[in-house]
Structure 1
Amino acid sequence: MSDDRTASPQAADPPRTEQVVVDGLTFHVRIAGQGQPLVLLHGFPDDGDVWRHQVAPLAALGRTVIVPDLRGCGATDAPVATSRYRLDRLAQDVLDLVDQLVPGGSAFDLAGHDWGAALGWHLAASHPHRVRRFAALSVGHPEAYRRAGAAQKRKGWYLLLFATPWLAEAVLRANGFRALTRNAPTSEDAERWRRNLGRPGRLSAGLAWYRANLTPTALAQHLPPVTVPTLGLYSDQDIALAEDQMTGSAAYVEAPWRYVRLEGVGHWLQIEAAAAINRELIDWFGVMP
């Protein structure tokens, strides 16, 4: 018997899927509901399925919930060149997808987890006229991440590995991707990671997110302050992220900021604590203009 924190939402009709062409790439997109758009962005090594517990409850708010497999991930095309995974290019993907799926260049609400949160911070800071409200799961503002203390430096050791071509691929492929899958939130997620990353070029495509955006040149760039209302959600058992990189994000938000800490929950908080996350997101995005 599961407790309220981890209980899954009630069953609902599955989202429909569409194939949308942006920048010459075909994106696999899950869509549910009707109304003002709300975009959910995943991280590595996930695809849009990581949001499976959130789609129906958020669509029930009267929203068009848009959940893409981001470039290089899931069923979306994967370009080879690392330069095509820069955050500014990834942000334009999101804007173009929304424009195609909800014509009129409308503003949208946004939530992101892991790399999806990093991309969300970039969108919220660089395109405040498009992002209405933002929720960051796990990953804080990049400046707060840079300034985080020793605990984050220890937890983030893997970034050096992931940024190293060939070596990272060899280590991560070993023993059926065991280095990744041992931390998966469910066995089904572990199997999906193995299946997706085992396809030719897909592991390198996922790692290109790190290699394109953790270079000295990329790290030297600083985002402007975020001027849209922002929610930070952090789980205290996160294997990769320390709390101060999220709490410190308040210094870079010149708009209403809310912080929520979940106890006893790991990195994939939208799966491990689905009901609690749904309550927070429904409360946050239920505010209409």
Structure 2
Amino acid sequence: MVDESLMVNTNGIHMHATSTGQGPVILLLHGFPDTHLVWRKQVPVLAGAGFRVIAPDLRGYGRTDAPPHVLDYTLDKIRADILGLLDALKIDKVHLVGHDWGSLIGWQLASMVPTRIERFVALSAGHPMAIARAGILQHMRLSYIPMFCMPGIAEHTLRAADWFALRQFSSEPGQAELWKRELDPPGRLTAALNYYRANLKLALPQSYPRVKLPVMGIWSDRDPALGEKQMRDSAHYVDGEFRFERIHDADHWLQLTAHDKVNTLLLDFLGTKKPQSTF
């Protein structure tokens, strides 16, 4: 149900995105190791409910350019990509939904450029400060990150035995083959890992402007990387409405493995107030 495939010049790169439907805009930001296709079970539902759904491939992923250097993937550059995409499409304000790295980017957009965001939904990943302060058990859950930050070793480990490690990530049928296809071209796996390598400071408590708009955090109880505390504690950094939702028996990729529940929550939360979609 994709109406249009777009290629937009933004922040010095070519960014690919899909645009589906008409109406108030919902922007969907994916994480590691996905592309816009991770939202395939949300896009038709949201568009059918009267929204225009924009789903980009973030830099380094899918059909979007993959700059060669680690520091090309700092979150300030990713934020600039997204704001440039909205400017190019003449979209003033959006409902924002992020997953994994897309959630971390979303938290920063919601706090730093609140005039561009109507409501924000964070899937899996809570506020960066909540993650950094969630304690030793949460830090143990993220113990894979140092390996991801080892150039060459991480690439070799993930590709070994026909991408065996990658195949353990999600229970969604066919998802591993999709990841393999997208990450196999030269430079693409390294680009995805560069999000971790370029943003190690996120592990340390930092100061962010408080989020003053409505936020919903959705967490799944079979997420091996991110615990419930980091999402619940995100409320401490939100001055607006904060709504926490716990989904049972879904892995980290809850938009795939619990898509009916996620879609119901999105429509309930985002359907309550319509943003203006153009300048």
* 1:1-289 → structure 2 map (5 Å cutoff): 13-101=1-89, 103=90, 105-215=91-201, 219=204, 221-289=206-274
CA distance in 2, matches of 1:266, 1:15: 30
Q: State the distance in 1 between where 2:12 and 2:215 align.
A: 32
Aligned length: 274
CA shift for structure 1 position 194: 0.8
State the shift of 1:287 in Å.
1.4
- Amino acid in the other structure paired with 1:16: E
Rounded Cα–Cα distance in structure 2 between residues aligned with 1:178 and 1:74: 21
Give the secondary-structure state (helix, strand or coil) at the position aligned to 2:26: strand
Shift of 1:188: 2.0
Q: CA–CA distance in 2 between the matches of 1:223 and 1:214?
A: 16
Which amino acid is the alignment partner of residue 31 of structure 2? G
Which structure 2 segments of 5+ residues have no match? 275-279
TM-score by length of 2: 0.94
Instruction: Tell me the SS of whatever aligns to 2:6.
Output: strand
TM-score with structure 1 setting the length: 0.91
The whole-number CA distance in structure 2 between the counterparts of 1:68 and 1:260 is 25
- Secondary structure in 2 matching 1:244: helix
**Code of the aligned partner of 2:161:** N
The residue aligned with 1:6 is none
Gapped regions of structure 1 (runs ≥ 5): 1-12
| 3-state secondary structure, aligned to 1:80 | coil
Contact 1:46 1:193 in 2 (8 A): yes
Cα distance in 1 between the residues matched to 2:166 and 2:100: 14
- CA displacement at 1:161 relative to structure 2: 0.9
- AA matched with 1:35: G
Rounded to whole Å, the distance in 2 between the matches of 1:63 and 1:199 is 33
Distance in 2, Cα, partners of 1:283 & 1:62 = 13
| Structure 1 counterpart of 2:277 | none
Q: What does the per-residue CA deviation read over 1:138-185, in whole Å, with 9 as the maximum and x for residues that have no partner?
A: 000000001112321221101111122222112111112211122233
CA distance in 2, matches of 1:139, 1:174: 28
Structure 1 pair 107–31 and aligned structure 2 pair: CA distance change class (3 A): same
Summarize deviations over 1:179-213 as a string: whole Å, max 9, x none.
11222333422111111111101111001101111
Partners of 1:219 and 1:70 lie apart in 2 by 24
Check conservation: 2:132, 2:204, Cα contact below 8 A. no
Contact 1:83–1:212 (8 Å) recurs in 2: yes
Tell me the CA shift for residue 219 of structure 1: 4.1
The structure-2 alpha-carbon separation of the partners of 1:151 and 1:250, relative to structure 1 and needing over 3 Å to count, comes to same
Q: Distance in 2 between matches of 1:196 and 1:20?
A: 20
- Quick one: distance in 1 between partners of 2:258 and 2:150? 33
